[in-house]
Amino acid sequence: MLFLAFLAAPLAYFYGREAARLAQIGAEAIGIVTTLEPYGSRRPRTHNVYFWFIAEDEQRVETVHDTSESFYAAQHVGEEISVRYWRDDPTLAEVEIGLAAGIAYRMRLGLGLFLALIAIFGYLAWRGARAATWLRDHGLRRQVLVLAHVDADDSGRFRAT
């Protein structure tokens, strides 16, 4: 579980940075869909929307963005779409406005949940180890109730005595 938390942390950081850049210093543009392409043979598939737009500096930017299935299904080649892009690097763009912020929020929430679970299970493991160590150090004998004594006879069968 700790491995998953360490795996999710960079993703949450990446999406958080992307969302912050787009929200703070992002610009809006109108893009044109050039290609719609599902990617992958298994579910869930990746739904790529290829599009181009003209940035503020009159630069034509062609890029691809992974979208949700519902957004992908609503698009058609040649259709205009809203694009939010980062002014310093127009290739960092999103066509589903707010998607990066939503992903970043869910990733942070999941990461927080993972860390809380790690803390809880770590505490429970520490408590169990502490109890086992105390039992070992204090030499507490096990208490059992003997219900019957069993002996084996010469033929290998067991019988109660």
Dump pLDDT digits (tens) for 15-60. 666 777 677 777 888 899 998 887 765 666 678 889 999 988 888 9
Query: How many H-runs (helices) and E-runs (strands) does the chain carry?
Result: 3, 7
Domains in the chain, number: 1
Task: Write down the pLDDT at residue 154.
Answer: 73
| Domain enclosing residue 26, as ranges | 1-161
Residues of the chain with pLDDT under 70: 1-17, 21, 40-45, 100, 140-142, 156, 158-161
Neighbours of 41 (CB within 10 A): 6
The SS3 of residue 144 is coil
- Within 8 A by CB and 6+ apart from 68, the residues are 47, 96, 99
Cβ pair 103, 60 in contact under 8 A? no
